[in-house]
A = this chain, B = another copy of it.
């Protein structure tokens, strides 16, 4: 995979870092919210279950045999109980799957960001090294020229080296 030419340069590098950090923050927020929602769901499910327990206290009374209202009430309590169970199951599933996936996504993204930074640093170091070479090139060239001049004016076996540093 190539790297877009639009993403080269210092500004682009910083924008990429910001983006990656923002994505990590987003993942952290998402995780926090999901964990909170799971907590809400579980509390709601528990509260509904206790409503059902409260509503069933009447059930044992034998004076209500054959009452349609009692039957309807029993059905309603069953529905509430099922809803509570579903909410609890869903919370468990979100916890064991979604939150876990978010965690590994976060770890992966963090690792990717580290890799990107290391790679960037490596390339930047290479780049500055080659820049250094480039900067020394004219000086080396002039030294070479000096040597050539010296060699043409010096006697055999006698080359005085006069290189001015600076």
Q: Which residues of A contact B (CB under 8 A)?
A: 15, 18-19, 21-23, 25-26, 29-30, 32-33, 36-37, 40, 43-44, 47-48, 50-51, 54-55, 57-58, 61, 63-64, 67, 69-70, 73, 77, 80
- Are A73 and B37 within 8 A (Cβ)? no
- Are A51 and B40 within 8 A (Cβ)? yes
Shortest C-beta distance, A94 to chain B (Å), equals: 12
Can you list 10 residue pairs at the A/B interface with Cβ under 8 Å?
A21-B63, A23-B64, A23-B69, A25-B58, A29-B55, A29-B57, A33-B51, A33-B54, A43-B44, A44-B44
- Give Cα distance in the complex from A50 to B30, angstroms: 14
- Are A80 and B37 within 8 A (Cβ)? yes
**For A25, what are the chain B residues with a Cβ–Cβ distance below 8 Å?**
58, 61
Nearest B residue to A61, CB-CB? B22
**Copy number of this protein in the oligomer?**
2
- Are B22 and A73 within 8 A (Cβ)? no
- Are B73 and A55 within 8 A (Cβ)? no
Shortest C-beta distance, A38 to chain B (Å), equals: 10
Shortest C-beta distance, A49 to chain B (Å), equals: 10
Partner of A47, one of B43, B50, B54, B73: B43
- Give Cα distance in the complex from A156 to B130, angstroms: 163
Known pairs A26-B61, A26-B73. 6 more at Cβ < 8 A?
A18-B63, A22-B63, A29-B54, A29-B58, A36-B51, A40-B51
Given A21-B63, A22-B63, A25-B58, A73:B30 Cβ within 8 A:
yes
Shortest C-beta distance, A22 to chain B (Å), equals: 4
- Are A33 and B55 within 8 A (Cβ)? yes
